[in-house]
A = this chain, B = another copy of it.
Amino acid sequence: MACPSRIAGAALRRARCSRVPLQQAARLHPAVQVRWTGSTSATSEPHQPDSKDSVKGKPAPSKTVKFTTESYPHLKRDSKFAELTPDHVKYFKELLGSQSAVIDGVTSDASDDIEAFNSDWMRKFRGHTKLVLKPGSTEEVSKILKYCNDNMLAVVPQGGNSGLVGGSVPVFDEIVVNMSRMNKIRSFDEVSGILVVDGGVILEVADNFLQEKNYVFPLDLGAKGSCHIGGNVATNAGGLRLLRYGSLHGNVLGIEAVLPDGTIVDDLCKLRKNNTGYDLKQLFIGGEGTIGIITGVSIVCPQNSPAMNVAYFGLESFEKCQQAFREAKGQLSEILSAFELMDGRSQNILKQAINKKLPLEGDYPFYCLIETRGSNSDHDSEKLSAFLEHVMGEEIVADGVLAQDQTQMAELWSCREGITECLGHWGGVYKYDLSIPLEELYQLVDDTRDRLTKAGLVGDSDEYPVVDVVGYGHMGDSNLHLNIPTRRFDKAVEKELEPFVYEWVAKRNGSISAEHGLGLTKKPYIGYSRSETMVRLMKQIKDTFDPNGIMNPYKYI
């Protein structure tokens, strides 16, 4: 750990050790209303954390979840798809065995069992499937898809079902192909760090396996206890380690996937270098199950970093945040593992909603959280101390604290991770997950606040629907979470927000979905982030791989 005595500036103190571990803090407000972009219904929904939040406590879906077909009444079932018959079910039972591998609401009453696969963990989406298949091998996946393709049966691939955009549950009666039985770690090379797993291996299982060998999975996210690696790859999950270890496009070395016609794509390369033709696996990374099902993943994993530090700062402006980020990149360089931004309003909301005592006494318009991970704690502390001396001395940072132990680290992280939870305190939240060029990252928050204020929608009393407009996110990845906590959902607010936000982002060549993907909810908005040419080319890719369109219909592009 860093030695506080070595850090200049009396204001830089040890973090107050309030002994509230992260998990506990995150449990204070278990049920709040959250509004996600792309939904026009004002239904009360449970808390939906972003990917940094813990979603280990997955609520059991219930029949009271509204059907997606009610929330999105414009969606119509494509009549080209066949309806399930007892003969279809018979085929699958013979193939997979009915006991554990087929949940069937066609020839038997399995309506309770099936609901867990029809609904997502947020209880926002609910489909009408009558058949869930759980293949145990790549060959079984192949036979399933070939049969579905030959018989025009639509399919939804399903991993841990922890997505945020409705991509992993059916809309109508699509057959769910759940990958949970394909959960084997196939191989690990302790010298190269290359891991090969089934698509259905849970991220945390793989990470625990690696930690024992002093390695770490190059991806981490709140849903790690339930999400599947195949799903992570299919949705190109970003998560907590992207700043340090890069994206899945760089780390995934190979995939095994099954195409809709049953063809097995055997690209499970275990090599860091392989320049022999188009890198087709990249299309499956972020393809959201629309061109095939990922049954195996090969990925290069970094060594574990035993040393970790966390610091939390107050800053006077967004320009200072940018300066601090640049200095952190320069001075912390190879050990910088997170640089998170929280505006002052987001921190105030922690105080207002859960009476949280913040680590710093003063109020600042901006806060940053820095994490380092390295192989030598003395070296890391020294680097961090030098960095802190510099940013304090140059008045880039106005005040700051440095965690002294694991509990304090968790406490500082809770100032970032606890925001999502607290935003729902007043009722609902309009949420946007956006990538914006760094220079203008925060401007959107100011512009949105100005716009809603001018429209007379923001205020302290109950007559105003909007409580505040706040921004926070992964500054290191230029990823902003724009959030508008409200007392009630209001068409006037929605009218001011959309298409304003999307147009604002599009003008800056930003992305309307930074890390969550398109799924069902973002599908209509792709035009704000992709040109017609790009969408046309994407559709050609879809048609090439899935000419019958059976894979995850009604979603993506």
Q: Which of A's residues lie within 8 Å of B, judged by CB?
A: 189-194, 214, 235-236, 238, 242, 246-247, 249-251, 263-280, 282-283, 285-287, 291, 303, 305, 322, 325-326, 329-335, 374-376, 379, 382-383, 435-439, 474, 477-479, 509-518, 522, 526, 529-531, 533-535, 537-538, 540-542, 544, 556-557
Contacts and interface: CB of A to CB of B under 8 A. Distances in A.
A159 to B, nearest CB: 16
Given A278-B283, A286-B279, A272 B331 contact: no
A518 B276 contact: yes
A334 B322 contact: no
Contacts of A477: 272-273
B192 A438 contact: yes
A193 B329 contact: yes
16 contacts: A190-B326, A191-B322, A247-B250, A249-B279, A250-B251, A263-B533, A264-B533, A265-B537, A271-B511, A272-B478, A277-B530, A277-B538, A277-B557, A278-B541, A279-B282, A376-B382
A247 B272 contact: yes
A376 B379 contact: yes
A303 B333 contact: yes
Contacts of A510: 271
A271 B534 contact: no
B526 A277 contact: yes
Nearest to A165: B275
Given A275-B515, A280-B537, A333-B374, A438 B191 contact: yes
Nearest to A290: B278
Given A375-B334, A379-B379, A514 B192 contact: no
Contact of A535 (B270, B277, B374, B379): B277
Contacts of A379: 376, 379, 382-383
Contacts of A435: 271-274
A271 B479 CA distance: 9
Indicate how many identical chains form the complex: 2
A269 B437 contact: no
B189 A514 contact: no
Nearest to A321: B191
Given A375-B334, A533-B264, A191 B273 contact: no
Nearest to A276: B529
Given A271-B514, A275-B514, A277-B538, 17 more contacts: A191-B326, A192-B438, A192-B478, A193-B329, A247-B250, A249-B250, A266-B534, A271-B437, A273-B474, A275-B286, A276-B511, A278-B557, A282-B283, A333-B375, A334-B334, A375-B383, A376-B382
Contacts of A534: 265-267, 277, 280
A556 B190 CA distance: 34
Contacts of A242: 272-273
A265 B533 contact: yes
Given A249-B279, A541-B544, A238 B439 contact: no
A379 to B, nearest CB: 4
Nearest to A382: B379
B544 A540 contact: yes
Contacts of A332: 375
Contact of A375 (B269, B330, B526): B330
Contacts of A194: 437
Contact of A279 (B285, B383, B479): B285
* Most chain B beta-carbon neighbours within 10 Å: one of A278, A474, A479: A278
A542 B376 CA distance: 48
Contacts of A529: 274, 276
A526 to B, nearest CB: 5
Nearest to A331: B375
Given A249-B279, A303-B330, A326-B191, A273 B478 contact: yes
* Most chain B beta-carbon neighbours within 10 Å: one of A285, A438, A474, A512: A438
A438 B194 CA distance: 10
A283 B249 CA distance: 12
Given A263-B533, A330-B375, A275 B236 contact: yes
A108 to B, nearest CB: 37
A136 to B, nearest CB: 22
* Most chain B beta-carbon neighbours within 10 Å: one of A276, A285, A526: A276
Contacts of A191: 322, 325-326, 438-439
